[in-house]
Chains A and B, each alone.
Chain A
Amino acid sequence: MTAPALPTPGTQGLTDADRRRAKEIIARYPHPKSALLPLLHLAQDRNGWVTPAAMEEIAEMLGLTPALVLGTCSFYTMFKREPVGRFVVSVCTNVSCLVNGGPELLDALRMHYLDDDDVFVEEVECLAACDVTPVMQINYEYHNGLTPEEAIDVIERYKRGELEARTISGTRRGV
């Protein structure tokens, strides 16, 4: 099976299609600046991370300075300002997961994917799914209650394209 057509991390800005979509988004809000977060998600989906070029374009579209865009962007943990590969694996270690195998899962995945540029393993705060622990998301799709071995198996299936992944911002492809 061939790898899915995921965007490869690039250093480019937005495409013409993105710009058209951005205009639609801006038009929905009473004030253009409110569209900043949605546009950053859009930019992240395009390149796999929020590139400086994209931030400059967004600033221009919203009538802001690039510094203001960066200021907002850098506050939010979901926006990656450097390439993170095709998959963001988020593991919760907050208290309900702390006592139910969260830290162990995080350590195992970190070790396993230490040298893998495609998989970015990060520790996150509570993901609001504490009834089945430990809680893990792969590109913001939940995969809860797995052992480290099972988790690695799921990630590998995504990598082989057997499971359809969301984008790096969690949007479903084609929606």
Chain B
Amino acid sequence: MPPQETRITTKFLRERPNDSFTFEAARKYNKAYSALEKALKMSPEDIVQEVMTSGLRGRGGAGFGTGQKWSFLPKDVFPRYLAVNADEGEPSTFKDHMLIVGDPHQIIEGAVITAYAIQAHHAFIYIRGEFALGAERLQQAVHDAYANGYLGKNILGSGFDLEMIVHRGAGTYVAGDETGLLSSLEGERAMPRIKPPFPAVQGVYAAPTVVNNVETMSTIPHIIRRGGKWYAGLGVNKSTGTRIFSVSGHVERPGNYEVELGMSFRDLIEGLAGGVRGGKEMKFFIPGGASAPWLMPEHLDEPLDMDRAFELKTMLGSGAIMVFDETVDPLQVAWRLARFFAHESCGKCTPCREGSGWIEKVLFRMANGLGRPDDLDLLLDFGQNIVPGLNAPFSQTTICALGPSTMSHVVSLDRFFGDEIRERLKRDATRRSQLAVTSA
């Protein structure tokens, strides 16, 4: 049997693409807010327990246990806040975007349940500024939820109050980091803050705050409706449930695929996404967004398992899989990623602010025939100032993960294309010196 999707969070928006985002359709055809009705009859502690049982791990990138995150809030400290991270910016990730545009009520329902579980009376949905239509759909959905008693005072007669605000960002990648998001929410530059204190202890307005990803929120109603045990029964090892993978690049059918964790990269890339476009060979692929170290065709039979990915010295991160065919120059890709990180580095930590720019400069000359023979080793040497040791899982000298991300493609170049690149740099240098002699 060919590999199949297992649609949970994407089922409804795929079934009714023309009106899945409206309140009427979501209520009528998808039982929207029925999980909330059930949740409000449970105690907040039971909800946290149910989510712990499900084994759900955050879908934003770090893969931290969702229930565990909620349980870290200090007892009896109020007010508390919930911030939903809809600032999807990791290159080649487009799953949250689809959930926001396609099924905003699922996100809101998950957020209300979460807010009730952590006893927060204010929730923010921080949506990326560029998602104009997404913000509009969310605004409308929040408006409809208020009008129908699923938000506001005394929700469904339970005595629980919740105000929800859709907050638009304005174009910056670091707001996707949870502490960067909180800075931005406070009207500051989106600069990440040092942890500890973790947001669960001191988040927005220095109050306990939970920051959860859109896909995580979208999963919560299903866990409440069908039980944590049911969810834990899906997936593999400690990677339970399903995840949406955004497959892009040189594949026949790029797109979002929701699959049970544990499926192999091959089934996802070749089975569902149709394999490399035009019958070409795959050169390499990036398994978890721009920040993730690369993998090679020989890794295709590895499972989509967050912990197995760490063993392979990479990560499933945001679930973005980029596939590159044989015609692609890995140095060009590495340079473009380096330029992204250099542009998005917020400037707070010196190693990242300075280092990201230097990595970009050196990779540019390497990719364009102007490299020096020892350039790759130069990068690996000064990269140690950002990632001491260069060993996965990366250690870091910066506050947020953007710092080490600037080195992931350099480390990958060395690991998989090291000899080839050193040869090429030598050849380029020799050619240049010959040109200089000839023209003299």
Binding site for B on A (CB under 8 A): 28-31, 33-38, 40-41, 62, 64, 71-72, 75-79, 90, 93-96, 98-100, 124-133, 137, 139-142, 166, 169-172, 175
Contact = CB atoms under 8 A, between A and B. Distances in A.
A104 B163 CA distance: 46
Given A38-B168, A41-B168, A94-B91, A141 B336 contact: no
A124 B75 CA distance: 43
In the A-B complex, the 5 residue pairs with the closest CB atoms = A36-B187, A170-B132, A76-B170, A130-B248, A140-B132
Contacts, number: 148
B16 interface: no
B187 A37 contact: yes
Given A94-B336, A99-B328, 9 more contacts: A41-B170, A62-B187, A75-B172, A76-B169, A95-B322, A98-B332, A128-B96, A130-B92, A133-B254
Given A31-B186, A71-B189, A129 B129 contact: no
A125 B170 contact: no
12 contacts: A28-B163, A31-B205, A34-B167, A76-B172, A78-B171, A95-B249, A100-B249, A130-B320, A131-B254, A133-B254, A166-B132, A172-B132
B165 A29 contact: yes
B129 A30 contact: no
B360 interface: no
> Which of A33, A96, A124 has the largest count of B CB atoms less than 10 A from its CB?
A96
B83 to A, nearest CB: 11
Nearest to A103: B336
Interface residues of B, number: 57
A29 B163 CA distance: 10
B89 A126 contact: yes
B132 A130 contact: no
Given A95-B249, A95-B290, A98-B332, A128 B168 contact: no
B167 A38 contact: yes
Contacts of A171: 132
A32 to B, nearest CB: 8
Given A37-B187, A79-B170, A95 B165 contact: no
A140 to B, nearest CB: 4
Nearest to B337: A95
A33 B248 contact: no
A96 to B, nearest CB: 4
Nearest to B341: A125
Contact of A131 (B136, B172, B256): B256
Interface in B128-143: 128-133, 135-136
